[in-house]
Structures are given as C-alpha cells and as structure tokens.
Chain A
C-alpha cells in the first residue's frame, strides 16, 4: 500500500505544482538573502562605528532581533502591523520584511566579527600612509574581510533558506502548502500520500541546502589562515 502511494507524484500536475511551490520558497529566500547581505555590510560598519551611541543602538537592534523567535516576528508583522495600522501586507511581503530585518542583524554581526578580527596594525599602516578613512575601508579592510566573511555568510544563507519554511504560517502557498493541498485532495484514494509528499519536501530542502553548506565548508578550508 505504501509503495503504491508513490503514484501521488505522477498524478495530474502534482510534481510540477510542488516544484512551483519550491520556487516560491526559494524566491522569498533569495530576495531576503540578497537584501540582507548588502544591508548587513552597512550594519556591520555601524556596529564597529567610533560613536558609542551608534554602537549601542545597533546592539539594541541585534539583541531585540535575537531575543524573540523569528516566527514571533513574522506574526508581529503579519498580524500585528496589519491590525495596529490597518495596513494590508501579503504573506510574501511580510516574510521578506521579517527575514530582512532578522538577517541584516545576523549579517551585521558577522561583518562586525570579520572587521574586528583584522589586526589593528593593518588600519594603522593605512593611516600612516596617509589614506583617508574611505580609502582604508576600500583598499585595506574590504578585500581582507570579504574572504573571512564568506563562509559564515553562506552559512547564514542556508539558515535563511531553512527559515523560509515558516512562511506557511502566514498563508503563503509555497511548497508545504502545495503539498498539503495535494495530500488533502488525494487522501481518500491514496492515504499514504502524506508520507511521500512530506518525505519529498524533506529531501527537496536537503537538496537545496546541502550544496550551499558544502560550498561554505570548502571555502572555509581553502581560505583558512
């Protein structure tokens, strides 16, 4: 009975629908990751700012992002903001907003770590050569931290892809929701569908995240110094 349940993949357009659902998931993840990586660079610079007030503000931002689960943030934005201000956000938009808000803080922390891991004499040598602050960042700091940044930020990317699974909570029709629709539809004739569909989604997530993790580990080894 279980193996005959496999036919759920080949009925109708089920496979194509699941893949379309996966694409929705990936689209949300990719948009968020792209924005976070850029915004995170800025956040990292602010976190290492010379002004204590800026650093303190960034600290409060990072800690408040971290003290509450991402799902709670998602609920706050999706249900709370809409209710409090009468705005109408789609699930996708709410998800991207929350993932950017969360990811920028995490990315900023990674950037901060990378900047602070640079030996002080690097920056001092730049100053001794008469470089301006901007030139120091461009020619001394940036080339060196980009390498240190990459493994950790790719790791963050896999975390963000995994976190995207939460959007099913705010009514986005992504891979899990599509899977549930297929299961509900075929439940009477094919009770084993749930096993195969959830099994496949599990494997799909793995197939997306594993190569990214491998890349991160490879870079860590190649660029270790």
Chain B
C-alpha cells in the first residue's frame, strides 16, 4: 500500500523542485529562442564568417548529449579556471542544446517564405530590416511554430538530468528520497505525477496554439 503520510509530508519538496524545474526550463526556452533566431538569421542572410560558425555549432550541439555537455561544463571547465555555478551550467547547457533545435525550426520557417514575397517587398522599396520584420519573420514564425512548441516540450523534459550538476530539481528530490527513506514507489509516483502536471497543460496549450494558427495562411 502507498504510504500517504509520507506523500503528504514530502509533497512540499516536490512543489519546490517543480518550481526550479519550471524556472530553469522557462529561462532555457527563452534563451534558446533568442539564440536560435539569431543563428537562423545568420544562416538566412548568409553572413560570411558567422554562417560557418553557426553551422558548426548546430552540428556540435545536435550530435552530443546534454548530459555530456553538462559534465564538461561543470567538471571539465573549472580546470581551465572557469568556475560556473550549477544554475549557470544548467542554463548554458540547456541553451547550447536548445539553440540549435530552435535555429533549425526557425530556418525551416524562413525557408518556407516564398521568394516572390521577398521580391514584392523589395519592389515596393522595403529595406532588408523592414523586409525581415514585416514580411519574412511573421510568416516564418507561423510555419516554425509547431517545431518551436515541440522543442520547448523537449527542453522541459531535458531538464530532468540537471541533478548531476547538483541542482535540486524534481529528479534530484526523487533520487534523494529513494536514497534516504527507500520509499521508492511513493517517490517515483510523485515524480511521475509532477511531470504529468507540468507537461500535460503545456502540451495542451501548445496544441491549441498550433490549431489557432494552422489556418493562418498569409499569401502564397
């Protein structure tokens, strides 16, 4: 039988940990979006040297696990004299990973904007900045939206490994309770429950967002 007294006693620890998970995921997603957009624009406008650097970054980030990235940041870099706090490590790791995924989503969106649209903008005398802001980006964003949402859910789930850099997230609390009290079933049950409570509303919200914008066809 489940030990309900134990669950009631430890629930606040999960709530607190869920707060950290959410805060980290939120910050990571926001920074990833910014980094991803910048990278996608560098690729789209074929900025000379930057374009190569961005392409290399995307390959490096997409083909290595976050866990190894975090190990390197947290345990490897201090040997170079670069000391980062757990929080900073996790945020850098998450952004390093998420940036490339978001960049690919944005790039897919930008590529889908037809050349005719850009030419039409140019022919009425729009400058490239205005073109990006009023023509390319709004359309690209709509196409990229499902990808951006999927990546955000992916990043929330990826935060589950930050306990290895000593951040007290949901996984950390569950591991600690298993280690200390051996109430494995309760600890894991609350862990699953916490993730479902976080991810279910998020994925519903994203789905309705996608549905809202699915039929927004802006010129073709």
A residues lining the B interface (CB < 8 Å): 2, 5, 67-72, 75-76, 79-80, 83-84, 158, 162-163, 165-166, 168-169, 176, 183, 191-192, 194-199, 201-202, 205-206, 209-210, 213
Chain B residue with the shortest CB-CB distance to A197: B76
B178 at the interface (CB under 8 A from A): yes
B180 at the interface (CB under 8 A from A): no
Chain A residues with CB below 8 A from B62, complex form = 158, 209, 213
Q: How far apart are A5's CB and chain B's nearest CB, in angstroms?
A: 7
B112 at the interface (CB under 8 A from A): no
- Complex: A205 Cα to B158 Cα, angstroms: 17
CB pair B59–A213 under 8 Å, yes or no, is: yes
Chain B interface main SS type: helix
Q: Tell whether A71 pairs with B195 under 8 Å between CB atoms, given A83-B184, A163-B65, A192-B79.
A: no
Q: Tell whether A201 pairs with B161 under 8 Å between CB atoms, given A80-B188, A191-B79, A209-B63.
A: no
Chain A residue with the shortest CB-CB distance to B82: A195
B87 at the interface (CB under 8 A from A): no
Q: A67-B199, A72-B191, A80-B184 are in contact. List 16 more A-B contacts (CB 8 A).
A: A69-B157, A71-B171, A72-B160, A72-B188, A80-B185, A84-B185, A162-B65, A176-B67, A176-B68, A198-B75, A201-B71, A202-B68, A202-B72, A205-B65, A205-B68, A209-B64
Q: Residue-by-residue, is B153-177 near A (CB-CB < 8 Å gives 1, otherwise 0)?
A: 0000110110000000001001100
- Complex: A84 Cα to B184 Cα, angstroms: 8
CB pair A2–B160 under 8 Å, yes or no, is: no
Chain A interface main SS type: helix
CB pair A67–B72 under 8 Å, yes or no, is: no
CB pair B158–A69 under 8 Å, yes or no, is: yes
Q: Tell whether A69 pairs with B195 under 8 Å between CB atoms, given A79-B188, A209-B64.
A: yes
Q: How many residues of B contact A (CB 8 A)?
A: 35
Chain A residues with CB below 8 A from B188, complex form = 72, 75-76, 79-80
B196 at the interface (CB under 8 A from A): yes
Q: Tell whether A165 pairs with B192 under 8 Å between CB atoms, given A72-B171, A195-B80.
A: no
CB pair B195–A67 under 8 Å, yes or no, is: yes
- Complex: A75 Cα to B160 Cα, angstroms: 11
Chosen A-B contacts, 15 in total, with CB atoms closer than 8 Å, are A68-B195, A72-B192, A75-B174, A75-B188, A80-B185, A84-B184, A158-B62, A162-B64, A176-B68, A195-B80, A198-B71, A199-B76, A205-B68, A210-B59, A210-B63
B114 at the interface (CB under 8 A from A): no
B203 at the interface (CB under 8 A from A): yes
CB pair B71–A176 under 8 Å, yes or no, is: yes
- Complex: A67 Cα to B193 Cα, angstroms: 10
Chain A residue with the shortest CB-CB distance to B170: A72
Give which listed residue, A165, A196, A197, contacts B65 with CB less than 8 A.
Answer: A165
Chain A residues with CB below 8 A from B195, complex form = 67-69, 72
CB pair A158–B63 under 8 Å, yes or no, is: yes
Q: How far apart are B90's CB and chain A's nearest CB, in angstroms?
A: 14
- Complex: A210 Cα to B56 Cα, angstroms: 11
Q: How far apart are B60's CB and chain A's nearest CB, in angstroms?
A: 6
B69 at the interface (CB under 8 A from A): yes
CB pair B79–A195 under 8 Å, yes or no, is: yes
B200 at the interface (CB under 8 A from A): yes
Task: Enumerate B182-220 residues with CB–CB distance to A below 8 Å.
Answer: 184-185, 188, 191-192, 195-196, 199-200, 203
Q: How far apart are B66's CB and chain A's nearest CB, in angstroms?
A: 8
In this complex, which of A158, A191, A209 has the most chain B Cβ atoms within 10 angstroms of its Cβ? A209
- Complex: A206 Cα to B100 Cα, angstroms: 15
